[in-house]
Amino acid sequence: MKLLLFYAPSFWFKTHEKALCQAPDQERDEEVKEAVVAFYQAEEEDQGREAKVLSKLLKNIKWQAGKFGAKTVVLHSFNHLSASKAPPELAQGLAEEAQARLEQSGFAVTVTPFGYLNEWKMHVAGPSLAKVFKEL
């Protein structure tokens, strides 16, 4: 998995176009404040190591949230971080499990619509730790 984390004082997204035909129809237009925004891409080699990938994903999100005192997280599937792509079901399953575990830990979690291209605007904080790339 590739992971690009941002600490964002504001993140806005709006559904633009369905990219996966099996994705449920939905239209969303939302803004989130003071959040860790996680752009993630599940990769083909993540198959069979989901528990390890999920553990590292959560650890990295919680680490950055702790650095900024954030209790809000946005999970955004972003298949532009690697040429290797996991099946959509794997990526969506990891996001759903991450959401559940983060919520159990007291975080408010927003997941952008999976299987959609989204329009978005993001204000990223200036400190170096507000922008982090990880290979899990």
| Residue 26 clears pLDDT 90, i.e. is over it | yes
Structure-token pair, residue 103 = 């919520």
Number of domains in the chain: 1
Mean pLDDT of the chain: 95
pLDDT on residue 133: 94
Q: Rounded CA gap, 11 and 34, in Å? A: 8
pLDDT on residue 130: 95
Q: Supply the CATH number for residue 84's domain.
A: 3.50.80.10
Determine if the pTM surpasses 0.75. Answer: yes
Indicate the length of the chain as a whole number: 136
Tens-digit pLDDT profile for residues 7-16: 999 999 999 9
Name the most confidently modeled range: 35-39, 83-87, 114-118, 124-128: 35-39
Tens-digit pLDDT profile for residues 67-119: 999 999 999 998 877 888 899 899 999 999 999 999 999 999 999 999 999 99
| Residue 66 clears pLDDT 90, i.e. is over it | yes
**Comparing C-alpha atoms, which of 11, 14, 23 is closest to residue 88?**
23
Residue 127: give the domain boundaries: 2-135
Q: What percent of the chain has pLDDT over 70?
A: 100
Q: Rounded CA gap, 20 and 112, in Å? A: 14
3-class DSSP state of 101: helix
